[in-house]
Structure formats: C-alpha cells, structure tokens
Amino acid sequence: MEDQPRVKGRIEGWVGAHAAQLRQGARMTVAGLLALGLGELFGLPRSYWAVLTAVLVTQASLGGSIRATVDRLIGTVAGAVYGAAVALAIPHQSDLGQLLATAAAIAPLALASALSPSFRIAPVTAIIVLLIPSGPQAGVVASAVTRVFEIVFGCVVGLACSILVLPSRAHQLVAQAAAAMAGLLADLTRLQLTEPGDESKLAEITVKQDQIRAALAKLDAVVGEARQERRSYLASGFDPEPLSRTLLRLRHDLVMVGRATAAPLPDGPVRERLQPRLGALAEAAAAALLGSARALTGEAPAPDAAPLLAAHEAYSAEVAALRQDRITRDLPNDAVERLFALGFALDQLCRNLGDFAARAEEQAQERA
C-alpha cells in the first residue's frame, strides 16, 4: 500500500511525458476503426486499403497529416493511372509479358519516387493495379478506379480524425522542438566558454554537437509541417521561419566560438583576467537561452536582456583594458587572431540571443 502513491506518480509522470504520443495513438486508432466501419457500411470491396491509408496519413500534427495525405493522393493517382496504362499497352498473360510489364511499370515510377517523396507510393500502386485485380471479372481500369477510391476514402477519414480527434498543431511542436534545441545550445555554450581549450571536454562537446544536429533536423521537419498548416488555412499560428533561422544562426555562432576556443587562452594576465569574464558570459548566455526556451513553451515570460548585456560589456571592457595596457602586443599572432575571432563570435552570439528572445516574446504574446 505504501508503494501505491509512488507507482501512481510514475504512471502520471510517464503519461505527462508522452502525452503527444498518446494523442497520436488515439487518433490513429479512431481513424482505423472509423475507416473500417464506414468501408463496410458503404460496401468497399477491399476496405483494408482504406484502413491502412487512414492510419498512415494520421501523423503527429495536422501539418504532417496534410502532407502525408497530399503525398498519398499524388502517388496513388499517378501509380494507378500509369499502372493501368502499362497493363493495357503490354499483354501480360504470359510469364515473359508479365515480367516486361512489371519492369515497365516500376522503372519510371521508381525514378520519380527517388526524385520526389510525393511519388513514393506510386510504384506500389502500379504493381497492385497490374498484378492484383480487384476481382475475377474486373478489368484493369476498374481495379485502378477502385484502388484510387479506397485511398481517397482513407485519406479523407484520416485527415478528418487529425482535425477533430485530439488535434495537435505543428506550431505547438515547433515551440517544443525549438525549446529542446535551445537547451542543447545552452549546454554547448557552457562547455565551450568555461575554461576554453580544456581537452577533457572534447568528447562531451562532440556528443552535444551531434545532438544539436539531430535537434535541428527535427525542428526543420516540424517547421515544414507548420508551413503546410498555414498554406492549407486549416490552422493559424505564428510564422515559424524566423524562429528557425534564428536558432540556425545561434548554432553557427557557437561553431565560430568553438573554433576560437579550441586552444586555451594565453597564459598570464590574459587568462587570469578574461577567463572569469568568459565564465560569467557563458552563464548569462545559457540563462538567456533557457529563459527564451521557457517562454516558447509558455512556462515563463521572456527573459530580461540586462544580465547578458552586462556580462558581454564586462568582457569587452576587459579586452579593451588588456589592449590599453599593451598586454596583447607581446602575444603570438595566432593568439591575437583567436581573441579577435572570439570577440566577433561573441558579438554575433549576443545579437542573435536578443533576436531569439524577441521571437519567444512574439510567441508568448500570441499565446496570451
């Protein structure tokens, strides 16, 4: 009995962490059952194609469902029309004829699917129309028409469930993906600017960079889905393009920072005076990233820019003081170049952090 609250808490925590996946599973289940029931009601000869299509086009977001529906329809129509044309043009009653017809049906559509994802299902549809007629007496044209109708029926059911059953908008996923990427950028900022050139952190930095690349790919995917939602007029929301571009610029800024901090700061006064300033700037930049991430997801207002600006000004002032004291005059050329590159990269980083905070503020205002 004492473990019941703990078990309940774990279950509630798991449900909260996987709420989006649970909603998607519910939508897919409803779409499949609805397609099966309506298919039997309307007497579809092969309602399982409608069921499969309804499940396949029901994606994690409405934008993803719209894109999957469009691709499914384009591929099905193209495959059915071309498969029927090949079946009528090339007799395929013999083994050799069937081999030639199958090759003629697959080859062009396989090339089209390699060139455009919209034609991915086209070769499969052509093969079905060519080799699996809808009934003993059915002709090729009737098979193609039946196939197209079943797919259209499944697409309509799947898209309707995406809109009506626990709908999930891609704009919500954009905010979540952007916040996750911002958290990774904050970690990388601390790793690179705190004690630059520390070789013990190289492996961790490499792992973090790989995670950022994966997060950026995920963000690009959901931004495409959000763009599809805006074009379809089925959902409204903030334009995700500026947010995506800002995060990409921040990633590029940290690439420049990483190159400038690949080696330790020069020994002596330069390291003694700049390293604490860099550490403070790293914490302020990470806090700005995390604060903007919380603003994107609605957990907090946009962060105050004052701490970041103060930390950046303090670092810049210390660099200027080193130059005024002529300490940098005796440094090797490569060390001076790294300091100059680091200063430029930090200027860009702070400027783009301000843009990121502005994008987060826009999202917060729209949510309000």
Whether residue 228 lies inside any domain: the answer is: yes
pLDDT at 134 over 60: no
Whether residue 1 lies inside any domain: the answer is: no
3-state secondary structure (DSSP) of residue 17: helix
pLDDT bracket for residue 117 (50, 70, 90): confident
Q: pLDDT tens digits for 155-172?
A: 999 988 888 887 777 777
pLDDT bracket for residue 177 (50, 70, 90): very high
The C-alpha atoms of residue 203 and residue 199 are separated, in whole angstroms, by: 8
What is the pLDDT, as a whole number, of residue 12?
A: 75
Query: What is the amino acid identity at position 89?
Result: A
The C-alpha atoms of residue 135 and residue 127 are separated, in whole angstroms, by: 15
Looking at the fold, whether 143 and 204 belong to one and the same domain comes out as no
Whether residue 112 lies inside any domain: the answer is: yes
Q: Which residues contact 204 (CB under 8 A, 6 or more apart)?
A: 191
Cβ neighbours, 10 Å, residue 219: 22
Domain end point (choices 164, 188, 209): 164
CA angle 323, 325, 326 (to 5 degrees): 60
What is the pLDDT, as a whole number, of residue 342?
A: 93
pLDDT at 136 over 70: no
User: Any idea of the CA torsion for 195, 199, 205, 207, to the nearest 10 degrees?
Assistant: -150
Which of 88-97, 141-150, 276-285, 335-344 tops mean pLDDT? 276-285
Looking at the fold, whether 274 and 125 belong to one and the same domain comes out as no
What is the pLDDT, as a whole number, of residue 157?
A: 92
Within a 13 Å sphere around the CA of 287, how many CA atoms are in the beta-carbon half?
A: 14
Looking at the fold, whether 342 and 209 belong to one and the same domain comes out as yes
Q: Between residues 310 and 143, which one has the greater pLDDT?
A: 310
Looking at the fold, whether 139 and 194 belong to one and the same domain comes out as no
Q: Convert 110-144 to b/e letters by CB count within 10 Å (16 or more is b).
A: eebbeeeebbbbbbbbbbbbbeebbeeeeebeebb
pLDDT bracket for residue 10 (50, 70, 90): confident
Considering the chain, what percentage of its residues have pLDDT values greater than 70?
94
Q: Which domain holds residue 154?
A: 11-164
Q: Between residues 346 and 24, which one has the greater pLDDT?
A: 346
pLDDT at 137 over 50: no
| Mean of per-residue pLDDT scores for the chain | 86
pLDDT at 135 over 60: no
Looking at the fold, whether 310 and 357 belong to one and the same domain comes out as yes
pLDDT bracket for residue 3 (50, 70, 90): low
Looking at the fold, whether 177 and 267 belong to one and the same domain comes out as yes
What is the pLDDT, as a whole number, of residue 286?
A: 96
The C-alpha atoms of residue 136 and residue 277 are separated, in whole angstroms, by: 81
pLDDT at 234 over 80: no
Q: Structural domain tally of the chain?
A: 2
Looking at the fold, whether 267 and 132 belong to one and the same domain comes out as no
What is the pLDDT, as a whole number, of residue 165?
A: 85
Looking at the fold, whether 175 and 191 belong to one and the same domain comes out as yes
Looking at the fold, whether 217 and 300 belong to one and the same domain comes out as yes
Q: pLDDT tens digits for 35-56?
A: 999 988 888 777 788 898 989 8
pLDDT bracket for residue 301 (50, 70, 90): confident
If you average pLDDT over residues 12-20, what whole number do you get? 76
pLDDT at 341 over 80: yes
Phi-psi category of residue 197: left, alpha or beta, with phi > 0 → left and psi -120 to 50 → alpha: left
CATH of the domain at 358: 1.20.58
- CA 168 vs. chain centroid, Å, equals 15
